[in-house]
Structure 1
């Protein structure tokens, strides 16, 4: 089994009260949690990476639990996303290992979540930023939930590491006014509307 030993876990929360317009109450919240892990595939080519996805599921559940608690519980969380930042000795496919595990962890803990989990991954050095896209849990066409949260770690990921991240939000962009499908119009049957 692949060894993704965790070096550190970081939690980030943002409370957005306004962006030049009126203050809103309650303010939307968005947060991210990430783990910096040993990358067992760094520096070499591994033809079959898929078995390693299973090893990441416990980490995804742990990170999901931490982020849900930091956001004040499950109630009201209506957007999510995931991402990975691979250290310099790795490749983007090592970040793709997070697709199944990260989505599994959030869906398991959040319950009904039919829309695709937006995702981003890239290779970068220590201090690189990663913009994790956010989208509504049950309806991909809810424009007010099209958003992103930026994460960065000053001392990671190191060359032999990978950063696995999850993101969630309670509420949409603070002054969303671009129309489209509204939250109260979501049917949640097909993950799109």
Structure 2
């Protein structure tokens, strides 16, 4: 019975791992410059993000990396929920975790919260980065996609993105998603 509870809890935690990842997104982006950003900085940022996502360090982002990341996140979430560290999640620990999740969602029960609205867009961007359609993204494909985005946002084509250009791009993106 205890094993079934642990397996069920891990399954539920794995299903919600996307919420934790999206909620963590703004903190993960701390290395994002808030002033002007150059092409060199974009490549540097892309490389840092690629290295973080390439969990098995095989030079490509694929299903194995996603599965490893999800397993790691599920284990971390289980550890956070198992506050007394006995290897099981009691009803009280489960309810406390559910309350924290509801708080993250803004108390209204809606899925997501900050950062979740961009998740389908990020998946779409990842698919677009897979230039050769092999369901894996190489560092070169990742960098190329980041630079294509840079070039679209750099509206005055001066080789850098200003805070104003970034805000204009964010506003345009918000408007597109609000229309859907």
TM-score (norm 1): 0.24
Specify which structure has the higher proportion of strand: 1
Larger Rg: 2
Q: Which structure's residues are more often helix, by fraction?
A: 2
